[in-house]
Amino acid sequence: MHDRIKIILGFVVVLLWNSSVQCQPMQGIYDEAMEFGQPETAQADRLVIDDFEEPSKLNLLHGMTNVYLMAPSRVMSSTAVDERDSTKTVVLKLKFQRFGEGGPYGKGGWCGYYSAVKEMLKTGTKYFDATNYTYLTLWVRGEIGGENFILGMSDKHWDKAGDTVKSNQIIAYLPEKKITTKWQQARVPLSDFMLDLSKLASIAISFERECFPDGIGDGVVYIDDIAFE
């Protein structure tokens, strides 16, 4: 009889011990990043669109580059050997003359430079996906200082419309808030353009009316290393 009681009591103790083990909360370090289905967003590496080192009408994404203009305003593009951070580099040189009157709408026409980031394939147009990038960056200096321009950018919609969405004046993105004869890097948030970043078509340097007193201006600007970051 005593042996049977001991066996029953032992069985009860084992059941109680197992129950206490199963009810113990899991201990350790909890991190939300450990949850399944929450991968980290990858930040793409810096991608240079054009460094102007090679004499070509194509940028490094195989997109066309060229000037655009409507008389009487005009612009010429070429390359020049310059120095930045004590290193020789080939840069884009843009010589422009912006008129305030004449041409379509009597506002002096327009002028600038564009660099396409879309590819023209036999199967159709392949637009550039910039969703993993945050900034458009470029290095800028003027020949005498005080020059100015605006950046334009187009997605699939604006590409078909033949126009671009404009940024603020480039001086707003420069450390010194003006173009000088020294190199400065402009960092332009892509969010400023309010475009479909998954379908970008082109980037433009535009010598717009609002960049100059009375809409009239001329000068030379140098550009280097246009990139997505």
CATH number of the CATH domain containing 162: 2.60.120.430
Co-location of 105 and 155 in the same domain: yes
Residues 6 or more apart in contact with residue 12 via CB below 8 angstroms: none
Q: Which of 178, 181, 112 is nearest to 142 (CA)?
A: 181
Co-location of 52 and 27 in the same domain: no
Beta partners for residue 4, in sequence order: none
Q: Does residue 40 lie within any of the structural domains? A: no
Query: Strands across the sheet with 150-155, in order?
Result: 65-70, 110-116, 200-206, 150-155, 165-169
Task: Count up the domains in the chain and report the number.
Answer: 2
Q: Does residue 61 lie within any of the structural domains? A: yes
Co-location of 123 and 213 in the same domain: yes
Q: Which residues span the domain enclosing 22?
A: 2-34
Q: What is the full per-residue pLDDT of the chain (229 aa) written as tens digits?
A: 545 444 444 544 444 444 444 444 444 444 444 444 444 445 679 999 999 999 999 999 999 999 999 999 999 999 999 999 999 999 999 999 999 999 999 999 999 999 999 987 777 789 999 999 999 999 999 999 999 999 999 999 999 999 999 999 999 999 999 999 999 999 999 999 999 999 999 999 999 999 999 999 999 999 999 999 9
d(CA 152, CA 54): 24
Q: Does residue 42 lie within any of the structural domains? A: no
Co-location of 14 and 89 in the same domain: no
Co-location of 108 and 156 in the same domain: yes
- Regarding beta strands 74-84 and 87-98, do their DSSP bridges make them parallel or antiparallel, or are they unpaired? antiparallel
